[in-house]
Structure 1
């Protein structure tokens, strides 16, 4: 039996802090207790409505979009009273999960007794979760992978004095700091989240959705009668080389182009220009669908390949 304390970490498209969700989460001392409570456990990333620190900004999804595990916490050496949570096992949902879906709040503490949103609780960038709340967000985010209705509700953990799932009102909110929860056994969710087959399916689903089932290098979109795409998801920095299962570390490519990319015959510049290895003879390219001059990328900037992963591929894989 072990204590399970999950959490929500809020990060913007253009964060005011030094966040790179796949690797690190930067936060002020205000939230240290909540982050420490989630150490060695799984958290959910949430993207708010505001996409930047500017109070007038918008464009955020107001949705949970990924999970990760807090591996360690260190103090920021350069900014007083700030810390880093170092993250591992990052994995994006196959569908972003709205915080309020069909009138249902996945975090009970965000719902007032009258059914309105508890804005005071919402303003907290780090919030601890009850285990059944984390499980419900997990099930909704990976519904396509586990073959489940996104709005299907799981039963709450049967712990002493537990209340019916998702009915905790503002007059009896989930505690901001969850150490007082009774110990509950580790869930089978963790087995899925570290399983390579599950992660491969989730990664492929998220990447192919972001790229519209279209090869980013050729622009071709070929779908068979069963709805399967000829294109497939490729890691820019491979898992074997410690690359994360992140959309920003992925592109959709046709199968032949995938092989060429992994073999270092193709790569991508920071401005998304497609690079071709000098040792490729022109005749080979004539037998392929024409490569575009630049990669076709998602409209949202935060879903495009991250420069650090592109640089790794150019410096370690590309034979140009």
Structure 2
């Protein structure tokens, strides 16, 4: 097994869903097989306008033939392992490239950098993960959420020069995943409640909005932006309890079981629809919206 890098772009010709699968042709099979059962980092190419660089990490569960295309294969991502970096890591920093294994003996970038799939050294993996995991206090869980995370301070401390295999443990830590999920969702929604439209900032300059999972983690909901919504505390409470929900067109639904339907309705922004991110890939996926409507919303 080995750590790896998978290059992905949102306009890819391949049938990729980074949190679920990575499609590739036979020529990359031997390289991808080296990463089977191990962790990989996703990289958006430098030539993509506004590239995010290294933007996520995930664990490859298995390699299978693509049942829909005989000449293609799929790297199946282990459920619950995909994680967007709270701080995407640029391919190149102020001094040099982050992935040192791409440098040749003369200190220049080798042709290996063009490979869509490549293995990643332990040192490079640890360096990318350390820079990508969010440690910004402005995006830490709110005080009420913090109390529910046992040993949060213990998880937060060891961010310095940790060996790669020890750092893997952070990737499954609920505290670390919540922190990165919150930062990405709030960034996607401009720190604005998607139901009320309010963008409230407290005296410390911190956004008074929370990151809500559409399909909860406890119900196999992934920690991805398209399974998240930025909501104020009250809107989050109502959404989790099924007092508000969403149609497939993102029209906001109000449950008739609410004890004050009129008051809830007045909280909704004037469009009557969820104020979704402009970037299509960040908008709620219909499968998660439908799950919430069918399993949580009280019609």
Regarding TM over 0.5, the answer is yes
1:142 deviation in Å?
A: 1.1
Contact 2:101 2:124 in 1 (8 A): no
Partner residue, 2:68:
78
SS of the aligned residue for 1:275 comes to strand
1:147 deviation in Å?
A: 7.5
Specify which of 45, 51, 54 is matched with residue 61 of structure 1. Answer: 51
Partner residue, 1:144:
135
Q: 5+ residue gaps in structure 1?
A: 51-57, 158-185
1:238 deviation in Å?
A: 0.8
1:132 deviation in Å?
A: 0.8
1:62 deviation in Å?
A: 4.7
Specify which of 225, 229, 233 is matched with residue 203 of structure 2. Answer: 225
Contact 1:249 1:306 in 2 (8 A): yes
Partner residue, 2:249:
271
Q: How many pairs were matched up?
A: 277
SS of the aligned residue for 1:188 comes to helix
Give per-residue Cα distances to partners, 1:123-179, cap 9 Å, x unaligned.
321111001101111011115265799xx8x48x7xxxxxxxxxxxxxxxxxxxxxx
Q: In terms of mean alpha carbon deviation, does 233-242 or 287-296 score higher?
A: 287-296
Q: Matched residues in 2 for 1:291 and 1:282: separation?
A: 16
Contact 2:101 2:120 in 1 (8 A): no
Partner residue, 1:91:
83
Q: Matched residues in 2 for 1:289 and 1:102: separation?
A: 45
Contact 1:11 1:45 in 2 (8 A): yes
1:251 deviation in Å?
A: 0.9
Specify which of 8, 12, 22 is matched with residue 11 of structure 1. Answer: 8
How do 1:44-55 and structure 2 match up within 5 A?
44-49=41-46
Contact 1:40 1:69 in 2 (8 A): yes
Partner residue, 1:298:
277
Partner residue, 1:162:
none
Q: Matched residues in 1 for 2:34 and 2:243: separation?
A: 46
Q: In terms of mean alpha carbon deviation, does 189-198 or 261-270 score higher?
A: 261-270
Partner residue, 1:207:
185
Q: Matched residues in 2 for 1:209 and 1:86: separation?
A: 28
Partner residue, 2:214:
236
1:17 deviation in Å?
A: 1.4
SS of the aligned residue for 1:100 comes to coil
Contact 1:76 1:83 in 2 (8 A): yes
1:287 deviation in Å?
A: 6.9
How do 1:250-265 and structure 2 match up within 5 A?
250-265=228-243
TM-score, with length taken from structure 1: 0.78
Given the alignment of the two structures, is residue 21 of structure 1 paired with residue 18 of structure 2, yes or no?
yes
Q: Matched residues in 2 for 1:117 and 1:95: separation?
A: 24
Partner residue, 1:319:
298
SS of the aligned residue for 1:144 comes to coil
TM-score, with length taken from structure 2: 0.83
RMSD, matched Cα: 2.5
SS of the aligned residue for 2:82 comes to strand
Partner residue, 2:126:
135
1:288 deviation in Å?
A: 4.0
Q: Matched residues in 2 for 1:229 and 1:221: separation?
A: 7
